[in-house]
Structure 1
Amino acid sequence: MLSNTPILVFDIETIPDVATGKRLYPDIATLNDADALTALTALRQAEAGTDFMRLPLHKIACLSFLWFDGQNFHLKSLSLENLSEKEILSTFLRAFDKKPTLVSWNGSGFDIPVIMYRAMHHKIAAASLFNSAQKPDYLYRYGDMHIDLMDKMSLYNGYQRQRLDTVASLCGFAGKGDIDGSQVVPMVQAGEWEKLCNYCEADVINTWLIYLRWLILTGKASLDDCEALMTDTYQFISTLYTHDGGVRHQQFLDDRQ
């Protein structure tokens, strides 16, 4: 059986921080935000061969998380549609006061560093992340307080890291579908917040289902217990609806094996 420790599975979606980009590159400081974003993307492409921004220049547009307390599931998305980035961070960081087991896909390499940079930007305390009263803490990659599944499955070898979509497909789960990270900025620009939140939540659900397979693989939970949790997960998913009454994550139910 799983321990009584609550489990927190999370994922973030980000957009470039144009304001910080203007401070970093004074030549674009007088441009409007749209033109500055174009210039910032071009500068990053020229200096690194990619438009993927340095981690401090990622602004959190959406943060989705699944909370499982041993009995009940809660799936929630916090986005810039109705919260500031500071409010998103403050709300999420409060969850660490309950000392959950944190589960992510590439959380050590991306999500957690971005959260730390953005918390510094907003002058937010994140003491529970460091968990000074108990060692190792959430930032210790070889411990069990934070299970970064990509890191664990690659045996901490960057050459062996796999995409979430690949491993989800291997396990027979829905994967990411027809949306990828390159579409996050256009979704934000178009105000497609429900679409963005659903995309982020799908990553969380995939990560949770892969985590159950990880528990089977490592012998930390029995096959029967994890199968029961998978059944409960699908039942929970079937209760989540979009604004127009459709099942929010129908693809998981369709691909259930």
Structure 2
Amino acid sequence: VLVLRALKYNLKAATYLDTQSDKWNNYKTRFSELKHCDLLESLGSNGRGIKLDTLCSMVGLPGKYDVHGDEVMKLFYENELEKIHEYCESDVLNTYMLFLKYEFIKANVSEEDYIDFLSYMRDFLRVKKSDRSYTEVFAKACESEISKVRS
């Protein structure tokens, strides 16, 4: 999609299309994490097809706690758009927490920064998203993760 958009609008995409450097470490190389990271590919050993919910459950993150993907169509036809909205936001939070954890174990994020990112997320949720059904689930997950790192 990126290349097609670049072609359509005559946008320069030199970084994305870089084939002059190391052929195994550029943006288009599937297994390289130098310029991009497909989290599910990386954690699923490049093709095992592990679901986000499964990965989150395995590492102690909330995962799906209320709505599951197979319920979205039914919710849509019942005009439960707010529930779908919260479901999508909770997926983003799971992905973010999983990504942070992955970057932490790769030593790309220091212990101090990891705790700071989780603390910020917890505080943001409690202040800006206090009306969401997932707020306390994820805020407590942040606190739990911080406790694990500190102990």
Any residues of structure 2 matched to 1:185-204 within 5 Å, and which?
Answer: 185-204=73-92
Q: TM-score, normalised by structure 1?
A: 0.44
* Structure 1: tracts of 5 or more residues without a match: 1-115, 120-124
Higher RCO (CA-CA < 8 Å; seq separation 6+): 1
Q: TM-score, normalised by structure 2?
A: 0.72
Aligned residues between the structures: 128
SS of residue matched to 1:203: helix
**For the residues of structure 2 that align with 1:172 and 1:146, how far apart are their CA atoms?**
25
8 Å contact from structure 1 (residues 187, 196) kept in 2? yes
Aligned partner (choices 113, 126, 130) of residue 5 of structure 2: 126
1:217 is aligned with what amino acid? I
Question: Measured at CA, do residues 184 and 247 of structure 1 come closer, stay the same or move farther in structure 2, by a change above 3 Å?
Answer: closer
8 Å contact from structure 2 (residues 56, 94) kept in 1? yes
* Structure 2: tracts of 5 or more residues without a match: 19-25, 145-151
Q: Check if 1:176 corresponds to 2:68.
A: no
SS of residue matched to 1:147: coil
2:94 matched to which residue of 1? Answer: 206
Tell me which protein shows more helix as a share of its residues. Answer: 2
Q: Check if 1:252 corresponds to 2:138.
A: yes
Runs of 4 or more, structure 1, over 3 Å off, are: none
1:233 matched to which residue of 2? Answer: 121
Any residues of structure 2 matched to 1:106-185 within 5 Å, and which?
Answer: 116=1, 126-127=5-6, 132-134=13-15, 135=18, 136-137=26-27, 139-141=28-30, 142-156=32-46, 158-159=47-48, 161-185=49-73
Identity of counterpart residues, as a percentage?
Answer: 25
Q: CA-atom RMSD, angstroms?
A: 2.6
Tell me which protein shows more strand as a share of its residues. Answer: 1
